[in-house]
Structure 1
């Protein structure tokens, strides 16, 4: 999991720091930040409740293949966001497949299906499409807190299921 925290103190260097870090971060910066001021664009500023001035970017979330498809990414992400969001006005991401090995083995319909599933997971947490595949989440969102409770419950269920599967004696 990779998060990138940008302190927006009105300095233009925040925008350019994201460009230097990665192309994906720069794409997010182009959509949500004003390159002249380094602050949120007026439109983004009006969209989000003021609870801080920093921007938290969810850059990458990667699970090893055996752990995928169980809802773990959402649980881990929501906990990471909760721990990192203090002082942030927004959390941003651009959902989709980033695993280069996966790209080479998927046909277009499978690619679209997996990307849609990833996007749905982030929407469930409370991310909302802003523009150009950039999704925003307000740290003050009630959806975020509600989903955190739901996902924690799901994690308990997954753990119980895993333990019960491991404790069943083999019949050899």
Structure 2
């Protein structure tokens, strides 16, 4: 088990029952009993910085959330291959940017570095449409960059 998964389990689950703790359960309307944990969203370096992580995470959440009461993540940077991320200030900046991406989807800080959202969240549903629009805009921008004479 990864450190992030252990941190998430400790923040959300009662070790005896395996159910959400009382404080986590208080955040979530009862719409299911399963738990979805977004452990990693990884993009090749050339695709980072465009908001694709949040877009693709939203698509994955909507595909996988049936029967879930809660969706959790522990935002952070797991790919330390870039030399600039070895600088603590830059690491903190990028980690905060990742957390803002999760918050934009509707996740809220629950405990420690564990964020939580309900699949019944209105913001999660609203962001689904916004993320689709953003993906379409990125696609148009990418096509125009490949062929500036093309029009959409």
Task: Give TM-score, length-normalised by structure 2.
Answer: 0.93
Is 1:65 aligned with 2:65? Answer: no
Cα distance 1:44–1:108, how it changes in 2: closer, same or farther (>3 A)?
Answer: same
Partner of 2:24: 44
Task: Give the alignment partner of residue 110 of structure 1, picking from 62, 74, 90.
Answer: 90
Q: Which residue of 2 aligns with 1:125?
A: 105
Once the 2 structures are TM-superposed, how far is the Cα of residue 23 of structure 1 from its aligned partner?
A: 2.6
Describe the superposition over 1:113-136 as per-residue Cα deviations: whole angstroms up to 9, x where unpaired.
Answer: 101100000000000000011000
2-structure distance, mates of 1:61, 1:151: 16
Which consecutive aligned stretches of 4+ in structure 1 deviate over 6 angstroms post-superposition? none
CA distance change for structure 1 residues 24 and 105 in 2, over 3 Å: closer, same or farther? closer
What is the number of residues matched between the two proteins?
Answer: 149
CA distance in 2, matches of 1:159, 1:142: 26
Task: Report the counterpart of residue 155 of structure 1 in structure 2.
Answer: 135
Structure 2 residue runs of 5 or longer lacking an equivalent are none
Q: How far apart are the structure 2 equivalents of 1:29 and 1:103?
A: 31
Larger Rg: 1
RMSD (Å), alpha carbons: 1.4
Q: Give, in angstroms, the shift of residue 105 of structure 1.
A: 4.6
Instruction: State the secondary structure of the residue aligned to 1:97.
Output: coil
Residue 2 of structure 2 corresponds to 22
Gapped regions of structure 1 (runs ≥ 5): 1-20
Match of 2:13 in 1: 33
Cα 1:93–1:157, aligned 2, differ >3 Å: closer, same or farther?
same
> CA deviation digits over 1:15-74, x for unaligned, max 9?
xxxxxx323212111110000111111111121001100110000111111000111111
